[in-house]
Amino acid sequence: MKLSVLLLFSLFASAALAADEDYAAMVELAWKRGCFNCHDVEQKVRGPAWRDVAVRYRDDETAFGRLIVTVRDGGRGNWGNDFMSPNRRVPEEDIKRLVAWLLTLESER
């Protein structure tokens, strides 16, 4: 019984650690690609907070594709009058990874 509890605890601890490492890796990628010039995870800077984006598009099955296009090509009108500059120099694979990650962020508000 004690061994089962210990193994279960280890499994959850490993999953939490992996999630933290993934989070840190994605934050590092976002810094590398210049995303934090206009965005933050928690609060609005020039663009919306990523947690707010995740909440808005939580149940939207088309969000992933649409956000990839917006990040790559820029856009206006999705968040008031704010304009998102195009990011055509960011590799498509990085854009996909970042969009997929930000859509998983849960609201802590």
Please compute the mean of the pLDDT values over residues 58-87 and round it to a whole number. Answer: 94
Q: Any binding-site annotation on 39?
A: yes
How much is the pLDDT for 13?
39
How much is the pLDDT for 40?
97
Q: What share of the chain is helix, strand, coil (3-state, %, to 5)?
A: 60, 5, 40
SS3 sequence of 44-97: CCCCCCHHHHHHHCCCCCCHHHHHHHHHHHCEECCCCCCEECCCCCCCHHHHHH
Confidence tier at 82 by pLDDT (50, 70, 90): confident
The tens digit of pLDDT for each residue in 1-29 reads 555 544 444 444 334 434 556 999 999 99
Spatial contact of 89 and 71, defined as CB atoms under 8 Å apart: no
Q: Any binding-site annotation on 84?
A: yes
What's the CA gap between 96 and 31, in Å, rounded? 15
Sequence ranges of the domains in the chain: 2-102
What fold, for 2-102?
A: Cytochrome Bc1 Complex; Chain D, domain 2 (1.10.760)
